[in-house]
Amino acid sequence: MLRLFNTYGKKIATFRPVNKKVVTVFTCGPSVYQRSHIGNFRTFLFEDVLVRYLEYSGYTVKRGMTVTDIEDKAIEEAAKRGTTVRLLVDENIRIFIREMKLLKMKMPDYLPRASESVEEAAGIIRRLLLRGVAYRYKGNIYFDPTRFPGFGRLYGLDMTKWPSQKRRFHKDTYPGIQWNLGDFILWHGYRQGDKDYWETGIGRGRPSWNVQDPSMVVRYFDETLSIYCGGIDNLFRHHDYSRAILESVRPYPMARLWLHCRHLYVDGSKMSKSRGNIVYLDTLLKQGYAPEEIRFFLICSRYREDLNYCGRDMKSVVAELRDFRGKIGKILKKTGAARPDKTMTAKVKEIFNRQMDNDLDVKGAFDGLHDFLSRTGIDTLRPEDASGIISSMKEIDKVFRVVF
């Protein structure tokens, strides 16, 4: 049985889908005011492995991923470059999809832009206004977290420390890993000179980042999601905001399980433009690494532990993969036309399943398989045993996507 760490409740839980016929998964996607770096792709790849392992385990999965193409940062970046938001984000989305394919990621069933769900966002906000959890102030619309019972439970926020003085936070996002203890913005009302806005039933303006995920969820899913995923930074503000918004207009939980992937650092430091240490996929490709080797480095760790990138670690992890693939190549030559031995197939899968069922322990699964191959006398393998190993590894590699 697959067991996953549920951030909501902070404990390991046995995976039980809400709908046994179709597992619904929603994941936070890129903010495309800039290119995605390998830290972003670590989270996206963890989610890719999750979806692939669910399918390997026999589930049918429907996945949605948000693309944030309209927000404060995109407007500011476009102005700085002397271009339009549309031209800016179109280019970054094109690069993102190309790099997803390079890293052998499954395309989500739904990959909507936030700008395509403005009517849904306006509809949600209208209902929040009617319920009294949202209000207008100086042309904008804000959400009052104190009007939502259980606000902050996903993170574990102590609401007894909420300030009594009214405070409002006007920006889509704020720097740093911290909480804004106050009302958060839902709708940016039109200001003279604004270039990016929509005419809606709640007025002229644009939806804030905070309401964009809920607006895209309601567009495609009408029940509690089985799993909601994102990076650990989304656990500060963003996911509790999304949960409060959606559960204020729907009388049931937003998701059964919440999964969060931790950070990737570069030489022990967080990636930032000021440090000049941002690493893109192109950076590693130019160093001679193949896309599947980059994918392997980014997935072969515990997703709930920080991962550090440095040249030495990258070379070490890639060397392990190359050794593993070399062993698989030798075994492949031993198969002949033999039918797979079922006992051998089951043995290999059991190693893989045991670790993957333990909160998606990709590293444990790979290390277990590598150790098994290292202890196997490849030169004396029977053809049917070799065929059994290859048969099972081809199925397993539908999850890894790094071997064949």
Query: For residue 254, how many other CB atoms are within 10 A of its CB?
Result: 23
pLDDT in tens, 213-268: 999 999 999 999 999 999 999 999 999 999 999 999 999 999 999 999 999 999 99
pTM as predicted: 0.96
- Asked if the model's pLDDT at residue 274 lies above 80, the reply is no
Q: What is the pLDDT of residue 70?
A: 97
DSSP conformational letter for 67: B
The 10s digit of each residue's pLDDT in 140-181 is 999 999 999 999 999 999 999 999 999 999 999 998 888 999
CA distance 252 to 228: 15
Q: What is the DSSP string of 167-222?
A: -EE-SS--SSS----SEEEEEEE--TT--S-EEETTEEEEE-HHHHHHHHHHHH--
Find residue 185's DSSP bridge partners.
142
User: What number is the average pLDDT over the span 180-190?
Assistant: 97
pLDDT at res. 175: 87
Block residue for tokens 């994941």: 27
Domains and CATH numbers, the chain: 3-261 (3.40.50.620), 311-400 (1.20.120)
Q: What is the pLDDT of residue 176?
A: 83
Residue 271 has pLDDT above 90, yes or no: no
Is residue 269 very low, low, confident or very high in pLDDT (cuts 50, 70, 90)?
A: very high
Quickly state the pLDDT bin for 383 (edges 50, 70, 90).
very high
pLDDT single digits (tens) 45-103: 999 999 999 999 999 999 999 999 999 999 999 999 999 999 999 999 999 999 999 99
For 313-339, give one letter per residue: b (16+ CB within 10 A) or e: ebeebbeebeebbebbeebeebbeeee
Q: What is the pLDDT of residue 190?
A: 98
List Cβ neighbours of 301 (8 Å cut-off, separation of 6 or more): 307, 362, 363
Residue 193, CB-side half-sphere exposure with 13 Å CA sphere: 2
pLDDT at 272 over 80: no
Closest CA to 34 of 101, 2, 80: 80
